Structure 1
Amino acid sequence: MRFLLPLLLVLSCLTVLLPGCEPKEDLLTTDSNATLTFSTDTVMFDTVFTSVGSVTKRLWVRNRNPRAVKVEEISIESQPGVTYSLLIDGDAVTTARDKVIRGKDSLLILVRATIDPTPSDEKPFLVDNNLRFRTNGNDQQVKVISYGQNAYFHSSAVLACDAVWKADKPHVIYNYALVNPNCTLTIEPGTRIYSHAGAFLVVKGRLRISPNYRPSGEIKADDRNIVRFQGDRREKEYAELPGQWGGIEFDASSHDNEIRFTEIKNASFGLLIYNPDNRQPRPKVTVENSIIKNISSYSLDFASGGLPLQGAGLLGLSGDFTVRNTLLTNCWEYAIWGAQGSVYELDYCTIANYLSAPAGSTSALIRQTPSVQLSDGIEINGRPRPLASPRFTMRNSIVWAQPRFAADGTGEDELVFSNGERYASNISISTSVLRTKSYTAGPLSQNKNGNILNPVEGPNYLFKSTPPRPRGKMFSYELDTLSPASNKGMPLPGLTTDLLNRSRDPNAPDIGAYERKNP
Structure 2
Amino acid sequence: MHSLLYIAIIFFVILGSSCRKDFNFEDSTGNLSFSKDTVYLDTVFSTINSSTYGFKVYNKSNTDLQIPTIKLAKGANSYYKLNVDGQAGESFTNTPLYAKDSLYIFVEINVPNTKVSDFLYTDAILFDSGSNTQKVELVSLVKDAIFLFPTKFENGTTETIVLTLEESNEELTKDGFTLKEDNLHFTASKPYVIYGYATVPKNETLIIDAGARIYFHKNSGILIKDNASIQVNGKLSADENLLENEVLFEADRLEPSYTNVAGQWDGLWIEKGSTNNTINYATIKNASIGIYINGKRESNTTTLTLSNTQIYNSLQTNIYALNSNIEAYNCVIANAGYASLQLKQAGTYNFNHTTIANYWSRTYRTGTALQINNTSTNNTANTLEVNFTNSIIDGNATNELLLIESPSSPLSFKFTNCIIKFDTKVTSNLYNFKDELHYTLPYISAETAFANPLKNSFKIQNNSVAIDNADKNNALKTPLDIKGNNRTISPDIGAYEFTPNN
Using the size of structure 2 for normalisation, the TM-score is: 0.63
CA contact (8 A) 1:377 1:385 kept: yes
Q: Where does structure 1 lack aligned partners over 5 or more consecutive residues? A: 1-47, 51-77, 85-92, 95-112, 124-147, 297-310, 358-364, 404-411, 468-473
Give per-residue Cα distances to partners, 1:366-419, cap 9 Å, x unaligned.
11111111221233xxxx36231221100000000011xxxxxxxx22111112
- Cα pair distance change 1:83/1:149, threshold 3 Å: farther
Give the deviation of 1:420 after TM superposition: 6.1
Secondary structure of 2:195's aligned partner:
strand
1:386 aligned partner: 380
CA contact (8 A) 1:252 1:279 kept: no
> Residue 166 in 1 paired to residue 183 in 2?
no
Among candidates 206, 230, 247, match of residue 207 of structure 1: 230
What amino acid is the match of 1:480?
Q
What amino acid is the match of 2:441?
G
> Residue 343 in 1 paired to residue 341 in 2?
no
> Residue 489 in 1 paired to residue 489 in 2?
no
- Cα pair distance change 1:265/1:49, threshold 3 Å: closer
Give the Cα–Cα distance (whole angstroms) in 1 for the partners of residues 492 and 348 of structure 2.
25
Give the deviation of 1:116 after TM superposition: 8.9
1:274-285 to structure 2, matched below 5 A, reads 274-275=294-295, 278=297, 280=299, 284-285=303-304
Secondary structure of 2:254's aligned partner:
coil
2:440 aligned partner: 449
> Residue 115 in 1 paired to residue 112 in 2?
yes
1:398 aligned partner: 392
CA contact (8 A) 1:490 1:507 kept: no
1:374 aligned partner: 372
What amino acid is the match of 1:431?
N
What amino acid is the match of 1:500?
K
2:201 aligned partner: 180
Secondary structure of 1:237's aligned partner:
helix
- Cα pair distance change 1:348/1:430, threshold 3 Å: same
Give per-residue Cα distances to partners, 1:294-314, cap 9 Å, x unaligned.
101xxxxxxxxxxxxxx2111
1:422-501 to structure 2, matched below 5 A, reads 424=410, 426-437=412-423, 442-447=429-434, 448-455=439-446, 462-467=449-454, 474=455, 476-491=457-472, 492=474, 493-501=476-484
1:51-450 to structure 2, matched below 5 A, reads 81=79, 115=112, 149-156=143-150, 157-161=177-181, 163-204=184-225, 205-210=228-233, 213=235, 215=236, 220-275=240-295, 278=297, 280=299, 284-296=303-315, 311-357=316-362, 365-379=363-377, 384=378, 386-403=380-397, 412-419=398-405, 424=410, 426-437=412-423, 442-447=429-434, 448-450=439-441
When structure 1 is superposed on structure 2, of 220-229 and 254-263 the one drifting more is: 220-229
Secondary structure of 2:203's aligned partner:
coil
Give the deviation of 1:263 after TM superposition: 0.1
Give per-residue Cα distances to partners, 1:187-223, cap 9 Å, x unaligned.
0000000001110100110100117x4x4x8652422
Secondary structure of 2:308's aligned partner:
strand
Secondary structure of 1:340's aligned partner:
strand
2:164 aligned partner: none
Give the deviation of 1:478 after TM superposition: 1.0
Give the Cα–Cα distance (whole angstroms) in 1 for the partners of residues 301 and 119 of structure 2.
41
CA contact (8 A) 2:196 2:217 kept: yes
The alignment of Structure 1 onto Structure 2 pairs a total of residues equal to 346
Give the deviation of 1:425 after TM superposition: 5.7
- Cα pair distance change 1:396/1:420, threshold 3 Å: farther
Secondary structure of 2:306's aligned partner:
strand
What amino acid is the match of 1:340?
Q
Secondary structure of 1:481's aligned partner:
coil
- Cα pair distance change 1:82/1:218, threshold 3 Å: closer
Q: CA RMSD in A?
A: 3.2
Give the deviation of 1:516 after TM superposition: 0.3
Give the Cα–Cα distance (whole angstroms) in 1 for the partners of residues 298 and 266 of structure 2.
23
Give the Cα–Cα distance (whole angstroms) in 1 for the partners of residues 421 and 482 of structure 2.
22
Give the deviation of 1:466 after TM superposition: 3.5
Using the size of structure 1 for normalisation, the TM-score is: 0.61
What amino acid is the match of 2:471?
M
CA contact (8 A) 2:223 2:268 kept: yes
- Cα pair distance change 1:466/1:335, threshold 3 Å: closer
Give the Cα–Cα distance (whole angstroms) in 1 for the partners of residues 353 and 369 of structure 2.
17
Give the Cα–Cα distance (whole angstroms) in 1 for the partners of residues 353 and 427 of structure 2.
22
Give the Cα–Cα distance (whole angstroms) in 1 for the partners of residues 479 and 356 of structure 2.
20
Secondary structure of 1:342's aligned partner:
strand
Give the Cα–Cα distance (whole angstroms) in 2 for the partners of residues 326 and 238 of structure 1.
24
Give per-residue Cα distances to partners, 1:226-276, cap 9 Å, x unaligned.
10000111122111111010100100121101000000000011111135x
Give the Cα–Cα distance (whole angstroms) in 2 for the partners of residues 252 and 281 of structure 1.
13
Give the Cα–Cα distance (whole angstroms) in 2 for the partners of residues 289 and 440 of structure 1.
35
What amino acid is the match of 2:442?
N
Identity rate, percent: 23
Give the Cα–Cα distance (whole angstroms) in 1 for the partners of residues 119 and 300 of structure 2.
44
CA contact (8 A) 1:440 1:446 kept: no
Give the Cα–Cα distance (whole angstroms) in 1 for the partners of residues 408 and 452 of structure 2.
39
2:496 aligned partner: 514
